[in-house]
Amino acid sequence: MAQDLGRGEALFEACKSCHSLDPAKQGMAGPHLAGLKGRVVGAAEGFDYSPAFKAARAKRVIWDETRLNAYLVDPDAMFKGGWMSPQGLDDEADRAAVTAFLMRGR
């Protein structure tokens, strides 16, 4: 598990151009991902989400390991019209590592 977290953290470096792990950091291309586990989809304060994410928020859809992994396979398939780029992580082991890193308890 610790190895997955380290690998996930290293892979997450590529995501930092759009996402932060600091909820106070606003104005990025993507929402902050701090405390993602158990958070309502589309609910990070201060981010202007796409309509698909706003609809998920209204339905109280929750981020968990399964949902995040599926999202990272094909973000647009899960939330049409989302703005995430690049579109998905093809490597299953990379997805698992990033998912483990973002879903770790804090």
pLDDT at 27: 87
Greatest extent of the chain over all pairs of C-alpha atoms, in Å? 36
The number of residues making up the chain comes to: 106
Q: How far apart are CA 22 and CA 19, in angstroms?
A: 9
Task: Quote the domain boundaries for residue 82.
Answer: 2-103
According to the model, what pLDDT value does residue 89 have? 87
Q: What's the CATH number where 7 sits?
A: 1.10.760.10
Domains of the chain: total: 1
Least confident segment among 1-5, 35-39, 41-45: 1-5
Tell me the helices (H) and strands (E) count for the chain, helix number first: 5, 0
For the question of whether the overall pTM of this predicted structure is more than 0.85, the answer is: yes
Cis peptide before 86 (omega within 30 of 0): yes
| pLDDT band at residue 3 under the 50/70/90 scheme | low
At 92, the amino acid letter reads E
